[in-house]
Every structure is written in C-alpha cells, then in structure tokens.
Amino acid sequence: MQKAKESIMFNSAKPNKISEHIIEQIRKAIFKGQLNPGDRLPPEKELMESFKVSKATLRGALHSLEVLGFLEIRKGASGGPFVTEVDMKKAKDSFANFLHFKNLSPKELSEVRLLVESYIAEKAAQVISEEDLKKLERLTNEFNHSLKKDLPIEFYNRQIEFHRILGNVTGNPILIFILDFISNILIGMKEILKPKKDFYWKVLKAHKRIYKALSERDPKRAREEMIKHVCEEEDDLIEIQKRQSMEALDLSRYSLRNFAIPYIPESEYW
C-alpha cells in the first residue's frame, strides 16, 4: 500500500472563503514540487487538523481540485486523494468554459489560426519526419476517398488531424495545446454551419498543396500555403454564416466535446 506524502506543512484555512484557501495551498505545494504526480495527500483526519476545517469542507475542496485535474480521488483501502498531472482535456475544458460566453466568430478564430498555424507549417517543413509525412499522405487519401464516396460529414472532420499532426511535429506543448483547442472549435463551427461538398474539396486541395511544400522541405511555401488555406476557410465560413443569417455561433454544444472521428481502413481508400 502506498504511503501518504509526508512533511507537507499546511496552515489553517482562513474563515473567509475557506475552500479557496485549501485549494490554493495544495496547488502551491504542487507547483513548488512539494507534491508530485503519484503522491498521495496525507490522511483526511490529518488534513482536517492542518486546515482546521470540517470533513465536508475538506472534501468539497478536494473535489474541486479533482475537477480542475490536480487530484484523482481513489476509492478503497489503498485509495485517497492522489496528485495527478493536469491533462489536455481538463485544460481545454477550462479554456472552453471561458470562451463559451464570447460568441466566437470565424474571423476571430482565423486571426489566431493565421498567427499559430502559419508558423507551425513553416517549422514543420524544417523538421517533419518521413513517418509523419506518410501520416499526412494517408489522411489526404482518406479525405479524398470520403469526398468521392459522399460519406457523412463526420468522415470529413477527420481531415482536422492533418493540422494536429503538424502541431505535434513542433514538439512544443503550448503550440500543441492551442492547435488542438482551436481545431475542436473549427469542427464545431463546421457542424453548425454545415458547409457543402465544394467547401471540403477546396480544403482537400489546400492540404495537398501544403503537403507538397512539406515533402519538398520548403518552409516559405508551407507557410504561404497555410495562410492561403486559412484565409480561404475564413472567407467561405463567413459567407455561409451570412447566407444563413446567423449573427452568432453557439459553440457550447461542441467546444467541450471530444470529437470521435470515424476510422476508414486503409484498404478502402487505395
């Protein structure tokens, strides 16, 4: 049985906003390295005495830390609150909760994409591996197959993996996080606006141009093609939004989702 983390000194929580003070102290202990992923917090009774709070108050604070992704509360004799590394889903959920009230537009999303994705394409052209190029080629062939066979929109959404692969190529966790998040928002916008097939044919052609620049290790052209692609999508989505007379896009149903993108066996698109 794993022993609880010892020698962490917590102070009694202040009467005003007690739970917040408990949460803040535990977060600080994690950020300072006094508590690390896998460590178990001291026993409940010990924590109650340290913070000088009731069981209900302590459990409420620990539950909040679990929701934030800092703790995992396990059941059973060897259970208890364990420190965990905040994963991407938890971080995206918190960010999405903030943006939910902002009524994002295709133009606002494109401004971020132009800044982030143009750099990512340029960087990727310099460092991308043959293995990742094969992944992009496979996705492009798969996307082409989906369009030719007139498959449902869920299959078209798989093309967003093209952008995520480029983000992963950079190896920069900040860029990977931002790109993954804006990719989900982009999927949400498309599910609301429901572009026609001609929109997706243009996306496919853009991906082919970007892939060619990447395979030829041409950073400048990869950047230019990505900028052209993002601008084309922005113009088309804005035009669709105008035609549908939508003043704002309600992304609340989409931005927090984990998109399940259908898989097409390789034998079906070659």
Q: How confident is the model at residue 199 (pLDDT cuts 50, 70, 90)?
A: very high
Distance separating alpha carbons of residues 267 and 227, to the nearest angstrom = 33
3-state SS, residue 252: coil
Place of tokens 């299959």: 155
Q: How confident is the model at residue 262 (pLDDT cuts 50, 70, 90)?
A: very low
Q: How confident is the model at residue 144 (pLDDT cuts 50, 70, 90)?
A: very high
Q: 45, exposed or middle or buried, with CB in 10 Å at 0-12, 13-18, 19+? A: exposed
Q: 251, exposed or middle or buried, with CB in 10 Å at 0-12, 13-18, 19+? A: buried
Distance separating alpha carbons of residues 177 and 91, to the nearest angstrom = 9
pLDDT digits 0-9 by tens, 208-218: 999 999 999 99
Count of C-beta atoms within a 10 Å radius of residue 95: 15
Distance separating alpha carbons of residues 114 and 228, to the nearest angstrom = 9
Q: What is the pTM of this model?
A: 0.69
Q: Which of 196, 234, 233, 229 is nearest to 213 (CA)?
A: 229
The DSSP element (H or E) to which 80 belongs, if any, is strand 80-83
For the stretch 205-229, what's the b/e string if a residue is b when 16 or more beta carbons lie within 10 angstroms of its beta carbon? ebbbbbbebbeeebbebbbbbbbeb
pLDDT digits 0-9 by tens, 85-120: 877 666 666 666 666 666 778 999 999 999 999 999
pLDDT value for 256: 42
Share of the chain above pLDDT 90, in %: 54
- Is the pLDDT assigned to residue 6 strictly greater than 80? no
pLDDT value for 245: 81
Helical H runs in the chain?
A: 18-31, 44-51, 55-68, 88-99, 106-127, 130-148, 153-156, 161-170, 173-193, 197-215, 219-243
pLDDT value for 260: 45
Domains defined for the chain, CATH in brackets: 18-86 (1.10.10.10), 89-268 (1.20.120.530)
Distance separating alpha carbons of residues 175 and 112, to the nearest angstrom = 12
φ/ψ of 29, rounded to 5, equals -65, -35
3-state SS, residue 58: helix
Mean predicted confidence (pLDDT) in 242-265 = 60
- Is the pLDDT assigned to residue 3 strictly greater than 50? yes
pLDDT value for 177: 86
DSSP secondary structure string for all residues of 9-53: --PPPPSTTHHHHHHHHHHHHHHTTSS-TTPBPPPHHHHHHHHT-
